[in-house]
Amino acid sequence: MNKKANLTRLDYLLAGLSGILMTASFPNISLSLVAWVALIPLLWSLRGKSMMDSFKLGCTGGFVFFYSFMYWMNTLIRFAPIVAIASILLCLFLGLFWGGFSVFFSWFRKRYPLTQWLWVPVIWVLMEYIRGIGILGFPWGWLGFSQTQFTSLIQMASLTGVLGISFLVAWSNGLLFQGMEEWKQNKSIPKSWWIPAFLFIGVLLFSVLWGNQRIKSPSTPNRSIQASIIQGNIPQDMKWNPEKELHNFQKYIRLTQSVASSHPQLIVWPETAISDFYPDREDFQNEILDFCQSQNCYLLTGTIDGNDTDYYNALILNEPEGMMNQRYYKMHLVPFGEYLPLGKSLPFLLRLNLVPSQFSKGTSQHLMVLAENDGKSFHFGNLICFESLMPGLAREIARQDGDFIVIVTNDSWFEKTSAPYQHRDIAQFRAVETGRPIIRAANTGYSCFIDSRGRILRGLDIYRDGTLTMNLPIEHYQTFYTRWGDWLPMLCGFIVLAGFIFIFIQRKEI
């Protein structure tokens, strides 16, 4: 096991195969079960390799995964040709985390050969967590998101977050890999392998059975809200065209008027449904506020807000009393898409026009209040587009005792690709993690109502004009994950640190 092996073309092919298999487990191919074995080719290629060679193979597998998984980035080339290069650079950067995983796994497997099954999920979850934090955090493609269709299984996310599902899937890969290696070397599988195998089966069965019971147990909604989603289906090349601005607005008004007979309490328009500075458009305000007053309802719209120096990707709540005081400004902007990191500290970077816009960040995740005639009220929090990737933001809404979560997005950038479905799946996990139902309004889809178990109650597919209306049940409870947050990756980090310390102590004794 300690003998170093040279890199071969087969090794690179195996690493790349893991990337392809991983992509196949996500929408639109959606072969979710493939994820449970997808890492085995990469792990096999790492056998006997040096740290540097392990890093190269990991980066290869990671690049193949991210570039094939996020192929839809290239739909942006028609808006910004530099995306052709930027998408490659992004995938190379994200591939570094697969490289880091491969290096740490190779290091630990040589020193703890009997517990390879443990190091795979522990290191994998830790690297995914690191990839998702900071100003460059990018959790898209976390392994657990591939399992959204298994509703019973993903209920475990209410305890661990989505990374708990990543842990289970990576554990399967590590366990099967170790069994294959033992069989190749000894033509048998030792008893030391069967103990973690039975442990894995037990944890998996518990997760599925407990999740199934959680789904089947009678729901006890505190109350419900009659809500409508408006999916305007405005193509991206029309959305920001000033000549089409009035046409787009009138389309949203027509669709909104069509749901009036359902008497919604809340109507939700998608991200930047009004692509102008809505607070400066009295004509738009008059039409919306007159509708809200006549129907005694609230209308939440995405728009742009701000002034000459700071402008925000915003949500504004139009109230039946004619007020627009409740606003939310997007806090987690898309790096290099909505702002340039360090742009304000290094102003010369802004003059290079490296990003299409330079939004300012919102400063607080606060709840909006929807008052009712009976004196009661609903409290809800908002996530705008990319923010739905960040579990901490959704968790903060639940910690503030929000009744439900509204997610608005504009995925028209990515046309008829898998991106809108991948994005939708992430929202389903946010519902499970927080125990809160979700209203998701997307310009070109996928718009939907999601219950607190992550199930889509009603949906509208991509590139369709339309509306969704339903009486959304609101269950009000605090999940273990809401209370304790990302305890699992913290535990994984502790295990990795303990592994290093133990080896260090052993060396000192020698």
The string over 444-459, giving b where at least 16 C-beta atoms fall within 10 Å of a residue's C-beta and e elsewhere, is bbbbbbbbbbbebbee
Nearest of 32, 39, 60, 22 to residue 141 by alpha carbon: 22
The string over 468-500, giving b where at least 16 C-beta atoms fall within 10 Å of a residue's C-beta and e elsewhere, is bbbebbbbbeebebbeebbbbbeebbebbeebe
CA–CA dist 41, 177 (Å, integer): 9
211 SS3 class = helix
Going by C-beta distance under 8 Å and a sequence separation of 6 or more, which residues neighbour residue 219? 451, 452, 473, 475
Alpha carbon 304 to its chain centroid, in Å, reads 24
Catalytic hit among 59, 91, 292, 385? 385
Pairing relationship of beta strands 223-231 and 456-460 according to DSSP bridges? unpaired
110 is catalytic: no
Is the bond leading into 312 cis (omega within 30 degrees of zero)? no
Residue with tokens 């990469």: 42
User: Under a CB-based contact definition with an 8 Å cutoff, are residues 263 and 440 in contact?
Assistant: no
508 is catalytic: no
Q: Which two tokens stand for residue 248?
A: 């787009």
Q: HSE of 118 in the Cβ direction (CA atoms, 13 Å)?
A: 17
Catalytic hit among 330, 387, 448, 492? 330
385 is catalytic: yes
User: Under a CB-based contact definition with an 8 Å cutoff, are residues 153 and 147 in contact?
Assistant: yes
DSSP 400: T
Query: Per residue, what are the HEC states of 86-146?
Result: HHHHHHHHHHHHHHHHHHHHHHHHHHCHHHHHHHHHHHHHHHHHHHCCCCCCCCCCCHHHH
Query: CA distances (Å), 280 to each of 59, 284, 303, 307, 322, in order?
Result: 49, 9, 11, 10, 15
Query: CA distances (Å), 143 to each of 42, 88, 121, 124, 344, in order?
Result: 15, 21, 11, 9, 35
Catalytic hit among 128, 182, 271, 338? 271
Q: Which two tokens stand for residue 306?
A: 């701000």
Residue type, 485: G
Angle at 478 between CA 440 and CA 485, to 5 degrees: 85
CA–CA dist 247, 265 (Å, integer): 26
CA distance from start to end of the chain: 22
Helices (H) and strands (E) in the chain, counts: 17, 12
Residues designated catalytic: 271, 330, 385
